[in-house]
């Protein structure tokens, strides 16, 4: 797919799936804005990408409406919006240990954040533009400690379907990853990260857990497929089957 002269905002582009997508989009000729809450992380991501001329960075908390509105006022017109942002710190807990504030932060990052991106970003999108958000396997295979994660992912997919109707012809889709080897697993599993990922790899039909590039490729597909909207693309190595 050729993305020459197209402009793409990637929230969460400072690491993991978002950074992998930014690299993929540059390879296709796009201009990219990577955004997130940490200026240091964004700067490190820019350096990892080689500080290309077509890259901009923007510090923003997408849970704060004033910041989201200011972001779109600054960057102007766009072709595509993607958010891979997720704040799960403290939200992946058994109910007796769950801190409501941590749960609310996750809702803010994965549900209200995308809602605000749609509210303020849709008027900036070109004809044929798209939005893509990240849900996850927990909505389909919930586990103990994952009640908040499961609920938010399921709610996000409902939001995607509703936005696809309301914002048409702008296309709105979700990618639902399975277990992907990113830094987020350090928050979930701590020192047991490698052990847990290896155990899951043995269960999956594909024989491995995902890599950020696997999810970036799925997002890239949805950006370019003009006949896909209101859908959830599952990229989880067969996790729903086992």
Residues with a catalytic annotation lie at: 135
Q: How many CB atoms lie within 10 A of CB 20?
A: 24
Cross-strand pairs, 219: none
Phi and psi at residue 215, to the nearest 5°: -75, -35
Which runs of consecutive H residues, i.e. helices, occur in 169-211? 184-189, 193-203
CB atoms near residue 86 (< 10 Å): 24
Whole-angstrom Cα distance, residue 59 to residue 40?
A: 10
For CA atoms 133, 203, 214, 212, give the dihedral sign. Answer: positive
Residue with tokens 């996750």: 106
Q: Is 223 helix (H, G, I), strand (E, B) or coil?
A: helix
Measured in degrees and rounded to the nearest 5, phi and psi for residue 94 equal -65, 150
Residue 178 near residue 210 (C-beta atoms within 8 A): yes
């Amino acid at each position: 797919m050729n993305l020459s002269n197209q402009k793409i905002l990637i929230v969460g582009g400072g690491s993991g799936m978002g950074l992998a997508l930014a690299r993929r989009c540059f390879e296709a000729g796009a201009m990219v804005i990577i955004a997130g809450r940490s200026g240091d992380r964004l700067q490190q991501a820019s350096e990892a990408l080689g500080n290309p001329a077509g890259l901009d960075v923007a510090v923003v908390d997408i849970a704060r409406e004033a910041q989201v509105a200011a972001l779109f006022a600054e960057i102007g017109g766009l072709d595509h919006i993607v958010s891979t942002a997720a704040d799960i710190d403290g939200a992946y807990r058994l109910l007796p240990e769950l801190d409501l504030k941590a749960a609310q932060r996750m809702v803010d990052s994965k549900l209200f954040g995308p809602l605000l991106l749609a509210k303020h970003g849709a008027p900036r999108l070109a004809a044929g533009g798209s939005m893509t958000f990240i849900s996850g396997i927990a909505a389909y295979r919930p586990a103990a400690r994952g009640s908040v994660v499961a609920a938010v992912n399921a709610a996000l997919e409902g939001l995607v379907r509703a936005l696809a109707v309301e914002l048409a012809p702008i296309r709105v889709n979700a990618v639902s990853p399975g277990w992907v080897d990113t830094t987020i697993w350090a928050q979930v599993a701590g020192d047991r990260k490698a052990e847990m990922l290896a155990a899951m790899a043995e269960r999956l039909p594909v024989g491995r857990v995902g890599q950020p590039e696997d999810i970036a490729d799925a997002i890239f597909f949805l950006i370019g497929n003009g006949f896909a909207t209101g859908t959830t693309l599952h990229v989880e190595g067969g996790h729903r089957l086992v």
